[in-house]
Amino acid sequence: MTDHQQAGEALEAPEMPTAGEGLQAPEAPTARQALANLQAEVGKVVHGQDAVVTGLLIALLCRGHVLLEGVPGVAKTLMVRTLAAAMAIDTKRVQFTADLMPGDVTGSLIYDAQSSKFEFREGPVFTNLMLADEINRTPPKTQSSLLEAMEERQVSVDGSPRALPDPFVVCATQNPIEYEGTYPLPEAQLDRFLLKLNVALPGREAELAVLRAHHQGFDPRDLSSVQTVATIADLAAARQAVREVQVADGVLGYILDLCRATRQSPSLELGASPRGSTALLNTSKAWAWLSGRDYVTPDDVKTLARPTLRHRIRVRPEVELEGVTPDGVLDAVLATVPTPR
């Protein structure tokens, strides 16, 4: 395996730095310390998914959304609920089904007979962390109800825009195995997600820790033992610190060259858009800050390239039949685009 492949797998690898390693926090109660504590608190409940938790932290720092892909039973819902509990923020879960309507997500106007007026009743999208479970099981009409919320952070009902709370992050899930009765997300909606994270099955030791926890009485429906270790104020301070992370012109050019290379790849019929390059810039800055630095290195860009770009590119059908995957194409791009010194 090349160095480029190892860097690209960082957000899926079990060796992802944990709160005590990658999130190097000083003794003072800083924003970085709070984020380190947040990852550690989630790790007490969700075992073997440190990489995905780090991805969720990056999404919070970048005000982005996350697409979680994994088989049932790998703690996708539990992860989001635990993260919300450790920050004392609101979370809602929506099970996307074939009969779900847009108003079931955004809310709708309800007639009040007593006042003889229509009143707006908020939908589950009015929350901080929204878990859109099996988002590809609902028709495109309902899927599109999230487009304005994800991009503009508002919902328009009857011509009136209504602002969503801050933070607002959509954590959507989909099953990589079952495709019967599903509606694949169009490119326009996939591009709205900051990251696509593959939630793998835990390793043996992590799964053994899960079994021990359940044997000792752990109930995944009861998160009362989760402590609040970070606040919205901590997140706001962290976001400001991420914005101040420095990026050299050479690294900016490297990000641009990587994205332009995907548009020229013969294996792809769709490359990364300018939104993809800005997303890679933002996620690299967040990763650098979480790693304890105030500047971005080319290795930061390599680490975040696959989770940031894999859902923004589309492999040609004839090449896909030969076993080529988006991650494989990105590995090739990382191997061919010169790294700045």
- Each residue's pLDDT, cut to its tens digit, for the chain (341 residues) gives 444 444 444 465 433 344 444 454 433 348 999 999 999 999 999 999 999 999 999 999 999 999 999 998 999 999 999 999 999 999 999 999 999 999 999 998 888 888 888 888 999 999 999 999 999 999 998 998 899 999 999 998 888 899 999 999 999 999 888 777 788 888 888 999 999 999 999 999 999 999 999 999 999 989 999 999 999 999 999 999 999 999 999 999 999 999 999 999 999 999 999 999 999 999 999 999 999 999 999 999 999 999 999 999 999 999 999 999 999 999 999 999 999 98
**CATH fold match for the domains 28-242 and 244-341:** no
- Based on C-alpha coordinates, what's the Rg of the chain? 20
Q: Domain spans of the chain?
A: 28-242, 244-341
Q: Does domain 28-242 have CATH number 3.40.50.720?
A: no
CB within 8 A of 217, min separation 6: which ones? Answer: none
For residue 261 the two structure tokens come to 């290379």
Q: What is the widest separation between alpha-carbon atoms in the chain? A: 70
Instruction: Please state, in angstroms and as integers, the Cα–Cα distance from residue 127 to each residue in 151, 153, 158, 171, following that order.
Output: 15, 11, 20, 12
Model pTM score: 0.89
The sheet with strand 169-174 has its strands ordered as 91-95, 129-133, 169-174, 66-69, 195-198
Structural class in CATH, domain 244-341: mainly alpha
Amino acid type, 338: P
